[in-house]
Amino acid sequence: MIISNDKVVTIDYSLTDEEGELIDSSVGEEPLIYLHGHHGIIPGLEQALAGHRTGDKVEVSIPPEEGYGDWDEDLVEVVAKEDFDDPEDLEIGTQFETETDEGARLATVIDIEGEDVTVDLNHPLAGMTLNFDVTVLDVRDATAEELAHGHVHGEHGHEH
């Protein structure tokens, strides 16, 4: 079966940055399962996997605009320390989820100066070229329920 829209795809992947440093990997962990054509993974990887089948190995380099977007200076904000539930627990590198006008975003503390906390709402991988090494483990038809909900059910499906 060939990877195309409305197929449930199971992959093993390793993700490295431009210097070859490992960022993330499913190898030795649970594989990633997603519903193709439903924005479950970044666009560049989805495009690269289309047309492949079980057993295929795919290596692809994805520019920021097809991954997590360019880094945006407007997404860096200074927030008062008192606005946090546990300000004493804050340190540079702390990550937390926050609600924005565009929905939930992951924020990273990048500076703390006195009562001011600088947070970066860019995705941690924004602005990076991402190198994926993927093995396609399985391709199947999605169920009617999965199609109706737009994501995989059970089997450790990945929901974003």
Using CA atoms, how far residue 69 sits from 24, 44, 46, 105, 122, in Å, is 18, 11, 15, 14, 9
63/132 same-domain check: yes
* Total count of domains within the chain: 2
pTM for the full predicted model: 0.81
Q: Is residue 155 part of a domain?
A: no
pLDDT(73) > 60: yes
Q: Is residue 160 part of a domain?
A: no
Q: What is the pLDDT of residue 86?
A: 87
Q: What is the pLDDT of residue 104?
A: 87
Q: Is residue 157 part of a domain?
A: no
Q: Which amino acid is at 68?
A: Y
Q: Is residue 159 part of a domain?
A: no
23/51 same-domain check: yes
53-70 pLDDT, tens digit per residue, is: 999 999 999 999 999 999
Q: Is residue 95 part of a domain?
A: yes
29/44 same-domain check: yes
Q: Is residue 52 part of a domain?
A: yes
Query: Domain of 56?
Result: 2-68+126-149
Q: What is the pLDDT of residue 130?
A: 98
Task: Report CA dihedral (102, 108, 112, 116) to the nearest 10 degrees.
Answer: 10
Q: What is the pLDDT of residue 155?
A: 55
CATH classification at residue 139: 3.10.50.40
39-48 pLDDT, tens digit per residue, is: 999 999 999 9
81-110 pLDDT, tens digit per residue, is: 999 888 888 999 999 998 888 788 899 999
Q: What is the pLDDT of residue 148?
A: 93
pLDDT(159) > 70: no
CB 137 within 8 A of CB 54: yes
145-156 pLDDT, tens digit per residue, is: 999 999 998 755
